[in-house]
Chains A and B, each alone.
Chain A
Amino acid sequence: MFHRQQPTRTGSRYPAIGIACLLVAAYGAFTSGPTTIRAQQPPGPAVVPKGAQPLLIAVSQVSGDVTYTRRVNNRTRVRTVTLASKLQAGDTVHMDVGARCLLLFRNAGKAAANLAPAFDAIRPIAFRPEAPATDGDGVVAAVLLRGYSEASIAMAFERNQAATIQIDMPQGVARAGVVPTAIKPRFRIRSPRTVVAVRGTEIRELEISVDRGDILSMGRTGVVAANVRSGLYRSAQSEQGTRKGTGTDRRSSRLVRAIMDLNIRSRVVLAGPHKGRIEFDQAKREPRDAQSFGKGDRLKPNGNPKFQNFINSNKPDDGTGRADSTGGGGGGGGDGTIDGDGG
């Protein structure tokens, strides 16, 4: 008998469907990804833990081109940062080269009592029977961003009188100050290489860049801990600095590299007003005038000739900071010296 041989079917019954689905999937994968801004955003708004209150983030100073992005209903909103901007956790601040932005993290309860803060204005003097508040109008921390910076505010809340602030910075320059409280606040700045946790009060400058790595300089007070995820840390005292380079670390620990690159800054010793006025800054390799005072420093008495001229003049203040010297002895400051030529 002759039997008709049926061809065996080895592939799919509808090969075109599979090919079309692959085409659609490949095209969708290449074209329908997240936008460039959205890819840098956190997956969602920062979640405030139970029992915690979010901190108010106010913009105290801003200059240059500064914007921030915020995720609202799965859409990325871009806004220009002004003095009236109210940031919140989850926002990302983008700054142009040459821009400056000062962010104040304030306690929500304390901030509500003072709705019109005027940090740059001179407040009227009022008699208070009690001692003035030392919490600085509820300001918990301040961060000054400078130059090209990208800073994402990951966490900003207060719980049990302890503030928790975390800023993620892939690149940029920041100065930070944290108000010390009885319950230690948690203030962290994370970079792709290190985590800087402020335990004291002041960071003079933290530069995060892709070419020089992370360079940390401490201020006059405080202590800072540069740590990694393992929990180990390296403390830097005042007037010290720590650098973490961008090179590959063969010791399998970024912390060790940071310790090896410990760089102690040269301290600038300022002499008194009766000593030499020209001093040499070892860190910047240039002489500096130790007795120079800015335009706003005319009320600083020690060694300031402008203060002597101002306090001994009989002319009213015209607001320009200039006052004619009329000579005369005495005067404030306690040193009793008057330098007529401004030196």
Chain B
Amino acid sequence: MTTRMNGPLAIAACGLLAVSLTAGGQNARRDQADARLPASVTVSRKPRAKIIDGYRAMARLARQHGRIDRQLDIDEMSFADLRSTLVREGVVDDGWGFIPMAGLKRDVLAYMAASYLDIRPGLLTSIFGMTRRYSYREMHHRGLMVQGQPRQVVSGSELLSVLTRVAAEVDRRDPDRQ
């Protein structure tokens, strides 16, 4: 490398440094602005929703409906606390061993939604409890979820759409809430 190339390289390095500093400032503004939006906006942009996204969204909906303590900070809760809270509410099965970063599948989401709405169709289901498979079939029958593969991971938008229908169903059952 000749000495006459040192000048342009120095100029390029300075430019790279300036751009990186500018981008860092924009990232900070982005984080600051995104933090003030509802957490569901961040979820809606995800192509694959995770288990913890589904748990948080369901817990947020339960807090909105007053089924859990309104003072709980859902966004700051750990996964274990979140899971235990939902298990107490009967929304999540105690035997589930999902990791937080696993994909949220449709049958899992259907089970949580059906449990939240206390949907127990059929004699065997009312006696022995609901399974994820038949939860999904029931939710599809009621028009709360679309037809598809039960093991398919849902997107963030689909997760929020299903929870919006769940909220609408709760409002329909209790008109005084509106």
Q: Smallest distance from the beta carbon of A30 to chain B beta carbons, Å?
A: 8
Given A35-B30, A294-B175, A148:B161 Cβ within 8 A: yes
Query: Is B15 a contact of A20 with CB atoms below 8 Å?
Result: yes
Q: Mark A92-106, 1 if CB is under 8 A from B, else 0.
A: 001111111000000
Q: Which of B44, B64, B160, B163 contacts A64 (CB 8 A)?
A: B64
Main secondary structure of the interface of B (DSSP, over half): helix
In the complex, which residues of chain B have a beta carbon less than 8 angstroms from the beta carbon of A294? 175-176
Q: Is the CB–CB distance between B19 and A24 below 8 Å?
A: yes
- Asked whether, in the complex, the Cβ of A27 is within 8 Å of the Cβ of B37, the reply is no
CB <8 Å contact, B38 and A95:
yes
In the complex, the answer to whether A31 meets B23 with C-beta atoms within 8 Å is yes
B19 touches A148 (CB 8 A): no
Contact in complex: B161, A20 (CB < 8 Å): no
Q: What separation, in Å, do the CA atoms of A171 and B160 have in the docked complex?
A: 9
- In whole angstroms, how far apart are the Cα atoms of A325 and B172 in the complex? 30
CA distance A211 to B145 in the complex (A): 8
A20 to B13 Cα, complex, angstroms: 8
Q: Known interface pairs A20-B11, A67-B36. Does A14 touch B5 (Cβ–Cβ under 8 Å)?
A: yes
Tell me the bound Cα distance from A100 to B64 in angstroms. 11
A99 to B65, CA, bound (A): 10
Query: A20-B8, A27-B16 given as contacts; is B164 within 8 A of A147 (CB)?
Result: yes
How would residues 24 to 45 of chain A score, 1 for a CB under 8 Å from any chain B CB and 0 otherwise? 1001100110011100000000
The verdict on A59 contacting chain B, using a C-beta distance below 8 Å, is no
Question: Is the pair B163, A21 in contact by a Cβ cutoff of 8 Å?
Answer: no
Contact present for A94 and B38 (CB under 8 Å)? yes
Tell whether, in the assembled complex, residue A210 and residue B8 are in contact, meaning their CB atoms are under 8 Å apart: no
Q: How far does the alpha carbon of A99 sit from the alpha carbon of B16 in the complex, in Å?
A: 45
Q: Given the complex, which residues of A lie within 8 Å of B176, measured CB to CB?
A: 294-295
Judged by a CB distance under 8 angstroms, whether A209 is at the interface is yes
Residue pair B157, A171 in contact (C-beta under 8 Å): yes
Q: B33 in the interface, Cβ–Cβ < 8 Å?
A: yes
Interface CB pairs A-B, < 8 A, 10: A17-B11, A27-B19, A37-B34, A69-B37, A76-B33, A95-B38, A97-B61, A147-B164, A171-B161, A173-B168
For the complex, would chain A's binding face be called helix, strand, loop or mixed by DSSP majority? Answer: mixed
Q: Kindly state the separation between the CA atoms of A209 and B176 in the bound complex, as whole angstroms.
A: 26
- B164: chain A residues at CB < 8 Å are 97, 146-148, 172-173, 209
Q: Does A16 contact B (CB under 8 A)?
A: yes
User: What's the count of A-B pairs with C-beta under 8 Å?
Assistant: 133
* Interchain CA distance A171-B163 in the complex, whole Å: 13
- Residues A131-168 near B (CB distance < 8 A): 146-148, 150
Give the residues in chain B near A76, CB-CB below 8 Å: 33
The smallest beta-carbon distance between A256 and chain B, in angstroms, is 21
Complex Cα spacing A17 to B12, Å: 7
Binding site for B on A (CB under 8 A): 14, 16-17, 19-21, 23-24, 27-28, 31-32, 35-37, 64-67, 69, 76, 78, 94-100, 146-148, 150, 171-173, 209-212, 294-295
Q: Confirm or deny: B45 has a beta carbon within 8 angstroms of a beta carbon on chain A.
A: yes
Interchain CB contact under 8 A, B34 and A36: yes
Interchain CB contact under 8 A, A78 and B12: no
7 new A-B contacts at CB < 8 Å, known A32-B26, A37-B33:
A16-B5, A27-B20, A67-B36, A99-B64, A148-B44, A209-B158, A211-B162
Chain B contact residue count (CB 8 A cutoff): 47
- How far, in angstroms, from A76 to B37 measured CA to CA in the complex? 12
**A35 lies within 8 A of B26 (CB):** yes
In the complex the two chains form, what is the Cα distance from A112 to B11 in whole Å?
59
Given A32-B22, A67-B36, A212-B161, A146 and B29 contact (CB-CB distance below 8 Å): no
Q: Are A28 and B41 in contact (CB under 8 A)?
A: no
Q: What residues of A have a CB within 8 angstroms of the CB of B165 in the complex?
A: 147
Note all chain A residues with C-beta closer than 8 A to B20.
27, 31
Asked if A98 meets B44 with Cβ closer than 8 Å, knowing A78-B37, A211-B146, A294-B176, the reply is no
B60 adjacent to chain A (CB < 8 Å) = yes
B window 27-56: CB within 8 A of A: 27, 29-30, 33-34, 36-41, 44-45
Structural contact, B64 and A24, CB atoms closer than 8 A: no
Nearest CB on B from A36, distance (A): 6
The A-contacting residues of B in range 120-178, CB under 8 angstroms, are 145-146, 155, 157-158, 160-165, 167-168, 175-176, 178
Interchain nearest-CB distance for A82 vs B (Å): 14
Q: Is there a chain A Cβ closer than 8 Å to B57's Cβ?
A: yes
Cβ of B101 < 8 Å from any Cβ of A? no
Select one of A94, A98, A146 contacting B61, CB under 8 A: A98
Bound state CA distance, A185 and B167, in angstroms?
A: 32
Taking CB atoms, residues of chain A closer than 8 Å to B45 are: 36
In the bound complex, what is the Cα–Cα distance between A16 and B45 (angstroms)? Answer: 39
A97–B60 touching, CB < 8 Å: yes
Judged by a CB distance under 8 angstroms, whether B9 is at the interface is yes
